[in-house]
Amino acid sequence: MVERSHKPAAISAPSAQAETGSVIADAEKVTLTLPTGESVEILLYGATIISWKAKGAENLWLSSAAKLDGTKAVRGGIPLVFPVFGTSTDATVAALPQHGFARVSKWEILGKTSDSATSVQVDLGLSPQNVPEHLREKWRFPFGLIYTVTLSQNNLETKMLVRNEGNDTIKFHILFHTYFQVPDATKVAVTGLNGVTYKDKVQGGATITEANTNVTITGETDRVYAQVPGEVIIESDGKPMYKVVRTDLDDVVVWNPWKEAASKIGDFRPEDGWKAMLCVEAGSVTEWQTLEGGSVWEGGQVLSLL
């Protein structure tokens, strides 16, 4: 079991007149709600955030065919990538499936760590005993993950603490695979990437320097931007929608499958759902994070509505 040095409070049912944020949990899901109506839903399977409602709207895209029963990784929301991004030939992770095991493991609720009228926070934990045995055998390092989700009126913060509980140095990738809901992907632009070098997976892994101030989606897009210097903003029809601010996460992935690739993804529905989503993913994936025995790493993102 994962433990904090300062243990969070137990989750209790809110009163009918609650003036602070509430956390309601059952065996499958945790829901955070503010008195002003904002909410977040987190599946314990994969600790996947499947809904973020604020300003009267849903801000995350979730496939209508997404499996929410723990049979496969969730398509949409904010899946967690750890300890490998994609697949790798590195001996320590080569046997793991794409994107590792965090998104396909059952996490435990550690408790509510803070609440007020304007924000509420919860911690979830993952340790080796929570990982399916067939995957645990493929990555035998002792570790602990603590995932902190904080909801406020216009922001959603997701933060991960990685603890190496063994003696050997471990290395890992980590990424928040955020699917943003957008009105029309053909009319969105991403700013903050100009001058940044990226690997274009659609062009066979070609290394390119971004020459555009506004990165638009005109076809299948799958780019890994390395060492992004500052905040990233998603605009729709020239109007800012979302801001992504990262802490100790140097890289940003921009992904949209477009029509042809979306039609080949079995759980991507509706087939034209690509028009309503854009993945802008904060992570550390172009280089390995290394962590000595007994050490801790922490990084995260804050998503803001604009």
Q: 188: part of which helix (H) or strand (E)?
A: strand 188-191
Nearest Cα residue to 226 out of 283, 176, 169: 283
Dihedral sign computed on CA atoms, order 186, 188, 194, 197: negative
3-state secondary structure at position 128: helix
Active site residues: 177, 281
Read off φ and ψ for residue 241, nearest 5 degrees. -110, -50
Nearest Cα residue to 39 out of 22, 61, 27, 16: 22
3-state secondary structure at position 238: coil
Dihedral sign computed on CA atoms, order 228, 187, 235, 157: negative
Q: 136: part of which helix (H) or strand (E)?
A: helix 133-136
Contacting residues for 268 by C-beta, under 8 A, at least 6 apart: 63, 65, 75, 257, 262, 274
Read off φ and ψ for residue 167, nearest 5 degrees. -100, -25
